[in-house]
Amino acid sequence: MEKHHIELLRKTLLEKADILDGDFEKIRTAFRPRFIKKKKDLLRVGEVCKFHAFVVKGFMRSFSVDHKGADHVIQIAYEGHWVGDLYSIFTGKPSNLCIEAVEDTLVLMIESKRLEELYLEVPILERYFRKTLLSAYVNTLQRLNSTLSEPAEARYLKLIEDQPGLLRRAPLSHIASYLGITPESLSRIRKHLHANKL
Amino acid sequence: MEKHHIELLRKTLLEKADILDGDFEKIRTAFRPRFIKKKKDLLRVGEVCKFHAFVVKGFMRSFSVDHKGADHVIQIAYEGHWVGDLYSIFTGKPSNLCIEAVEDTLVLMIESKRLEELYLEVPILERYFRKTLLSAYVNTLQRLNSTLSEPAEARYLKLIEDQPGLLRRAPLSHIASYLGITPESLSRIRKHLHANKL
DNA sequence: CGCGGGTTTGATGATGCTCAAGCCCGGTGG
DNA sequence: CCACCGGGCTTGAGCATCATCAAACCCGCG
């Protein structure tokens, strides 16, 4: 567990909550590093998710698979983000999601049970996760709103505005899935945008 | 502020956090009741949202309005739910949402600033809202997943499964909007379902 | 009554999907 | 070094879903 990975965790926590150095030490020791090779899974459909994972390097996606095998990217996570199936963690039921490394990825993992204990030992940690959940929730609401109200081309333009890095790191098929369309459709949207001078 | 309204608030908080009676007294006094007549707004597009509202009786919806006047129901809230534009509260920017009473509605309102102070006075309250955000977030992710992966008819069937009461309380046009389709489409879906013996 | 909002129905068209073929390019083995 | 393979991306044709516009209908309420 190298120093700058821990520093990214510390820095990320401090952005949303004032955590004392002593408390951070308690937190730090609850995490263990794990490396996931590109295209390997951190969680598979049907497993019960018992961890939160903090991405220190790399890029992951979580996706569902519908009744006829098509996958749908629900979330993406790169450096400084969290992954895990909150539904499964919270209910204890098997996950409907698969969490997969898009690139070679290093995460710091904590047992969800251990995190619950940490809330008692370090109450301010609850503030960090409340705020983190808040922004994740707000982002998802906006994405939902966008999906309900705008055609795919507008959503694509918004995405390259908000997440320019994504285009370089994720293949077209993942981006299409994230937008809720097929790779073919996204390819045509790109073609159409190029035709109009970009 | 009548007794059973306060009791609903107490009961709701206790479902997710062990709040002492004394602490609940502090919390209680931070809320003010407000009545919103059917079709009247609690928040309008362009205003900065500075409150959280707890619905004790009635039914509200929050919706966005797209560039050509169509509205899109983002959230619904009835007894025991919260409403407010978290994006606006958190960023201090004007809201893109309108929050409107679908029925005559009574809410208990708290200033978002006052709530931040309460977190310091009653730390366990942070747990309640962390958990509440968690379920709201998980629900929204599932709704997003459903929107991305299923056709409107399947989403409608899932909705009447999950929220049977909604059909009795909300007009068809709101339900259509919540599902991300037009009232005409939902009407046709219903017709089609009736034809197939339901 | 008759007005008016909400819902239904119909005809037409846009958006995005499916299936299928071809293309591009990077990696591998001869 | 090149020839081949394979995955990802593009392109095309036809189709399904859902939107749009417009008209008729239903029903509660003044």
Domains, chain B, in order of start with CATH, read 3-122 (2.60.120.10)
Looking at every residue in chain A, the average pLDDT score rounds to 94
Checking if the pLDDT of B117 tops 60, the result is yes
What is the 3-state secondary structure of B152-173? HHHHHHHHHHHCHHHHHHCCHH
CA B55 to chain centre: 8
3-class state of residue B43 by DSSP? strand
CB contact B66 to A (< 8 Å): yes
Checking if the pLDDT of B101 tops 70, the result is yes
- Residue A3: pLDDT band (50, 70, 90) is confident
- Residue B197: pLDDT band (50, 70, 90) is low
pLDDT at A198: 54
Distance B21 CA to D12 C1' (A): 70
Q: Which nucleotide shows the minimum CA-to-C1' distance to residue B148?
A: C16
Contact between A123 and B119 under an 8 Å Cβ cutoff? The reply is: no
| Residue % of chain A over a pLDDT of 70 | 98
3-class state of residue B38 by DSSP? coil
- A192 burial level (CB within 10 Å; 0-12, 13-18, 19+): exposed
Name the packing angle between helices B21-28 and B3-14 (round to 10°): 120
Q: pLDDT by residue (tens digit) across B14-42?
A: 999 999 999 999 999 999 999 999 999 99
Checking if the pLDDT of A94 tops 60, the result is yes
pLDDT at B195: 79
Q: pLDDT by residue (tens digit) across A149-165?
A: 999 999 999 999 999 88
Q: How many CA atoms lie within 13 A of A111 on its CB side?
A: 6
| Residue % of chain A over a pLDDT of 90 | 89
Checking if the pLDDT of B10 tops 90, the result is yes
Token look-up 């006075």 returns B121
Question: Which pairs with CB-CB distance under 8 Å and at least 24 residues apart come from B25-29?
Answer: B26/B118, B26/B121, B26/B122, B27/B118, B27/B122, B27/B125
**How many Cβ atoms from other residues are within 10 Å of residue B19's Cβ?**
18
Q: Do B141 and A74 touch (CB under 8 A)?
A: yes
Q: Do B66 and A134 touch (CB under 8 A)?
A: no
Which residues does residue A53 pair with via DSSP β-bridges, in sequence order?
A: A83, A109
Name the packing angle between helices B21-28 and B124-149 (round to 10°): 70
Checking if the pLDDT of A1 tops 60, the result is no
The token pair at B133 is: 């955000």
Instruction: Kindly state the average pLDDT of the residues A160-175.
Output: 92
Instruction: Kindly state the average pLDDT of the residues B133-148.
Output: 96
Instruction: Select the residue of B64, B75, B134 nearest A86 (Cβ to Cβ).
Output: B134
Distance B173 CA to D12 C1' (A): 38
Residues of A in contact with B145 (CB under 8 A): 64, 72, 74
Find the closest chain A residue to B116 by CA distance: A127
Q: pLDDT by residue (tens digit) across A26-45?
A: 999 999 999 999 999 999 99
Instruction: Kindly state the average pLDDT of the residues A90-119.
Output: 96
Query: Which of A73, A70, A65, A30 lies closest to A171 in space, CA to CA?
Result: A73
The overall pTM is greater than 0.85: yes
Instruction: Select the residue of B74, B137, B149 nearest A66 (Cβ to Cβ).
Output: B149
Alpha helices, H only, A37-171: 86-91, 112-121, 124-149, 152-162, 164-169
Query: Which residues between 143 and 162 in chain A have a beta carbon less than 8 angstroms from any beta carbon of chain B?
Result: 143-145, 147-150
pLDDT at A118: 97
Token look-up 């739910």 returns B81
